[in-house]
Amino acid sequence: MLRQHGHALQGFLENSWCFNATLERMNNHFSMLLSRLSWTRRLLVLLTALTLICIIPIGDALKGNRSITSHEMMILGHFHNAPDLLLAISTVIGRVFSIAGTALIVSVFLFYLIWTEHGWVQPVRGAIIAVTPMMVTLVVKLVVNRNRPGTPLGSLASDPSFPSGHVTASTSCVALLFLTLQVRHVRKPPRRHRCFLRLATVVILTLIPVLTAVSRLILGVHYPSDVVASLILNALLAASLGVISQHWTMETS
């Protein structure tokens, strides 16, 4: 009996040692990777880490503050008087970046990367950049569990409010599209007379998550802090994932 317990304890210690050694190697590799980034990219990664640490406490603080909630409801009241055309556009945006719509958009761009790239590096990068923000948002939603605003459409929503999932989905789709354009630019650089068109495309794509955030306020399904937090968190997260995965790809290729 004692011998069996001894073997079990020895196996547990060996597994723990292997696990700790793996974590230490991963930590050393990440530290080395971070040290090789430029100071601006390093600052971006550190800001993202700080945001990830603070997002749940911020959500809890917003959830329990009645004064902030009342002010945000006043802001939503101004958006509630939007014209019918803006309401219709907001509804369309909501359907585009629903679960089904986002899955379709992400699948199309990932299939394009698989079809055009030789290998799985860029498709895997795209999947990480697109899926990770949505997973993080889901975890924060479940942990914070903030109720939706008391508006007609907000009261009908069943999932938690903080942060906005639709804004996250639009940010993920735009980040994946940016990666697709970056890969295409590396493979086939644009001509000089198309630089303006490329700049206009970047500006329009950047505005898509912002327009999605405004549409959620017009529909009254989110507080302003929900969409602002989602914009900041997921923009930083997608950018950091893009930077880290790009640097890792360059090192391993």
Rounded Cα distance, 178 and 115, in Å: 17
Q: CA nearest 97: which of 4, 171, 162, 199?
A: 171
Cα 108 to its chain centre, rounded Å, is 18
Q: The tokens of 237 are what?
A: 């997260």
**220 phi, psi to nearest 5 deg:** 75, 25
pLDDT of residue 188: 56
Tokens 């696990």, residue?
19
pTM of the model: 0.80
Residue 30 pLDDT level (bands cut at 50, 70, 90) = low
Q: Torsion angle of alpha carbons 190, 196, 198, 200, nearest 10°?
A: -170
Alpha-helical segments (H) within 36-151: 39-63, 66-79, 84-96, 99-116, 121-144
Model pLDDT for residues 34-76, shown as the tens digit of each residue: 666 677 778 888 899 999 999 999 999 998 888 988 999 988 8
The sign of the torsion formed by the CA atoms of 79, 234, 137, 88 equals positive
Model pLDDT for residues 93-142, shown as the tens digit of each residue: 999 999 899 999 999 988 888 888 767 778 888 889 999 999 999 999 99
Residue 185 pLDDT level (bands cut at 50, 70, 90) = low
Name the amino acid, one letter, at 247: H
DSSP one-letter string for 128-173: HHHHHHHHHHHHHHHHH-PPPPSSHHHHH--S--SS-HHHHHHHHH
What's the helix, strand, coil split of the chain in %, to 5? 85, 0, 15
pLDDT of residue 54: 93
pLDDT of residue 25: 55
Asked if omega into 224 is within 30° of 0 (cis), the reply is: no
pLDDT, greater one: 252 or 38: 38
Model pLDDT for residues 158-171, shown as the tens digit of each residue: 788 899 999 999 99
| Contact in structure between 221 and 157 (CB atoms under 8 Å) | yes
19-33, 116-130, 172-186, 228-242: which has the minimum mean pLDDT?
19-33
